């Protein structure tokens, strides 16, 4: 190839020699990256002990779970009271329904008696 030949800017050839290509950055070795990682991670735990952080987070999570459990318990109690109230309404509705059925039967019997009386008066 033309590795030693420099290409003129106005020429139609798009190839350029390898010497003019930008170099790719070299990746660091694993030992270097581990060292830089430990330096960065040291920034997070320099002044704080991880055990203290974990303990604080554990306390906070337990407090949130306790609050959540209390809320769920209160909701369950409210739901139970609603169920009791609905059961009471159904019992009352059944009582009213039975009363109306009895009233209907009583009225039906009365109308039958009245109708029979009217029929017997018409034939006499």
29 neighbors 16 (Cβ within 8 angstroms): no
- What pTM value is reported for the model? 0.43
**Rounded CA gap, 61 and 74, in Å?**
20
- Using CA atoms in the order 87, 89, 92, 98, what is the torsion angle rounded to 10 degrees? -80
Nearest residue to 54 via CA among 45, 41, 42: 45
Q: What is the pLDDT of residue 50?
A: 87
Q: Could you report the per-residue pLDDT of 28-54, keeping only the tens digit for each?
A: 555 545 555 555 555 554 556 888 899
């Amino acid at each position: 190839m033309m590795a030693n030949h420099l290409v003129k800017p106005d020429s139609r050839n798009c190839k350029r020699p390898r010497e003019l290509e930008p170099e790719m950055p070299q990746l660091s070795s694993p030992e270097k990256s581990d060292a830089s990682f430990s330096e960065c991670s040291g920034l997070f735990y320099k002044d704080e002990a991880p055990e203290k952080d974990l303990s604080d987070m554990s306390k906070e999570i337990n407090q949130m779970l306790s609050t959540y459990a209390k809320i769920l318990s209160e909701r369950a109690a409210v739901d139970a009271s609603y169920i009791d109230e609905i059961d009471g309404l159904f019992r009352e509705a059944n009582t009213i329904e039975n009363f109306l059925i009895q009233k209907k039967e009583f009225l039906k019997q009365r109308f039958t008696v009245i109708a029979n009386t009217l029929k017997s008066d018409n034939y006499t």
